[in-house]
Amino acid sequence: MNTIGVLTSGGDAPGMNAAIRAVVRTSIYNNLRIMGIKQGYNGLINGNIYEMNISSVADIIHRGGTMLKTARCDEFTTEAGREKAMTVLKVFGIDGLVVIGGNGSLKGARELSKLGFPTIGIPGTIDNDLGYTDFTIGFDTAINTVIDAIGKIRDTSTSHGRANIIEVMGRHCGDIALYSGLAGGAESIIVPEEGFHIEEVCKRLIQSKNRGKLHSIILLAEGVGNIGNAYELGDEIQKYTDIDTRVTILGHLQRGGSPTAFDRIIASKMGAKAVEILMEGKTSRALGIKSNKVFDMDIEEALSVENKFDTETYELTKILSI
Ligand code: F6P
């Protein structure tokens, strides 16, 4: 192993920069050449690649986003696109690749591995939707952003005696809603993994209003189907309860911001480990974190682990919000 390439792909996540920094610095420490690939698989196919050095990653550990930029690349999902990528890797003399991204990005890493190219995947997404790992880089920062927003919305909710729906990201996964709802003391949490009855949400709202509670926070995960959109849900709730209801969609706010210490730490550990295992000659691996320990496993196997929703914590949120 002489030259390693690194790219970030898919939706950006706070902490990606810390992971890039760790990949770059661990490579240089071990006398390897390190190439930054810009704009994910797009940059790989188009040769948007440059050599990095120690200072390339100075002053980035605390910054959100990704200094290598990112993209969602349709061309790479085709065989022709991947063949092009293989040629570019050869032209640039890259002999090992680290891919930092979510589900789709790790699938891309798996495909390159299948073509025989040594590739390691690092989980970077705010969604926390990869079942093989306890945490993905960016999730902790995102839920901290959400609880900050919940606190602010609760202030105005209390002043007006309203119900406030807060819609959060997560694609098909309810983890952002669940954990920020628990930490933010939400009255109701609506996630795609659990059945949802509007009557139950309304009953809870009316009960807490009758008890003299002045605010109500309803956390809604974006992936919940069959309720129309957040505004339609707000209209329904207002109709059934007669409680003035407002909606806030947090959107891309959740993707930015300075990463938390936790995200910086797991990103740094995984970035370093990716280089170490490439040097050991391992390929086709995905990195993860379990019981506070970074581990690697076969990427195909990792991607086939079902993402289990934490129903125990979900039940706890119901008890704590009575
Ligand atoms: O996967 C991260 C994520 O932020 C999801 O939570 C969300 O559904 C999606 O990306 C939004 O993607 P985009 O930024 O491309 O609109």
- Tokens 């610095």 belong to 25
Q: Say if ligand 1 is within 6 A of residue 11 CB.
A: yes
Give the whole-angstrom CA distance, residue 274 versus residue 319.
41
Q: Side-chain half-sphere of 232: how many Cα atoms within 13 Å?
A: 6
* Beta carbons of 69 and 60 less than 8 angstroms apart: no
Binding site, residues? 11, 21-25, 72-73, 102-105, 125-127, 154, 162, 169-171, 185-187, 211, 213-215, 222, 246, 252-255
What band does 12 get if pLDDT is binned at 50, 70 and 90?
very high
* Tens-digit pLDDT profile for residues 164-214: 999 999 999 999 999 999 999 999 999 999 988 899 999 989 988 888 888
| Cα–Cα distance measured from residue 287 to residue 100, given in angstroms and rounded to the nearest whole number | 10
DSSP label at residue 50: E
Distance CA 247, CA 270 (A): 37
- The residue whose CA has the least distance to atom 1 of ligand 1 is 11
Q: Judge if the beta carbon of residue 233 lies within 6 A of ligand 1.
A: no
pLDDT over 90 (residue 152): yes
Ligand 1 centroid from CA 117, angstroms = 28
List pLDDT tens digits, range 67-100: 999 999 999 999 999 999 999 999 999 999 999 9
Could you tell me the pLDDT band of residue 130, with boundaries at 50, 70 and 90? very high
The fraction of the chain above a pLDDT of 90, given in percent, is 94
Find the 264 Cα to ligand 1 centroid distance in Å: 21
Query: Is residue 160's pLDDT more than 90?
Result: yes
Calpha distance 295→123 (Å, rounded):
12
Is pLDDT of 226 > 80? Answer: no
pLDDT for res 213? 84
Q: Is the CB of 190 under 6 A from ligand 1?
A: no
In the three-class reduction of DSSP (H, G, I as helix; E, B as strand; rest coil), residue 189 is classed as strand
C-alpha 54 – ligand 1 centre gap (Å): 31
> How far apart, in whole angstroms, are the C-alpha atoms of residue 28 and residue 67?
18
Sign of CA dihedral 84, 88, 93, 94: negative
Q: How far is the CA of 105 from the centre of ligand 1 (A)?
A: 13
**Quick one: 275 exposed, middle or buried, by C-beta within 10 A (0-12, 13-18, 19+)?**
buried
**pLDDT tens for each residue of 252-307:** 999 999 999 999 999 999 999 999 999 999 999 999 999 999 999 999 999 999 99
List active site positions: 127
Q: What's the mean pLDDT when you consider all of the chain?
A: 96
Ligand 1 atom at minimum distance from 10 CA: 1
- Cα within 13 Å of Cα(302), Cβ side: 28
Q: Do 68 and 13 contact (CB within 8 A), yes or no? A: no
Residue nearest atom 13 of ligand 1, based on CA coordinates: 11
In eight-state DSSP terms, residue 110 is H
Given this model, what pLDDT does residue 245 score? Answer: 97
DSSP string, 272-286: HHHHHHHHTT--SEE
Whole-number Å distance between alpha carbons of 206 and 177: 22
Domains present along the chain, CATH in parentheses = 3-138+259-304 (3.40.50.450), 141-255 (3.40.50.460)
Token pair in block for residue 3: 């030259």
Q: Which of ligand 1's atoms lies nearest the C-alpha of 126? A: 2
pLDDT score recorded for residue 73: 93
ipTM for this model: 0.98
Cβ(65) to ligand 1 under 6 A?
no
Rounded Cα gap, residues 304 and 202, in angstroms: 38
Which residues contact residue 254 at a Cβ distance below 8 angstroms, ignoring those fewer than 6 apart?
126, 142, 145, 146, 168, 169, 176
Is the CB of 209 inside a 6 Å radius of any atom of ligand 1? Answer: no
- The CB of 193 under 6 Å from ligand 1? The reply is no
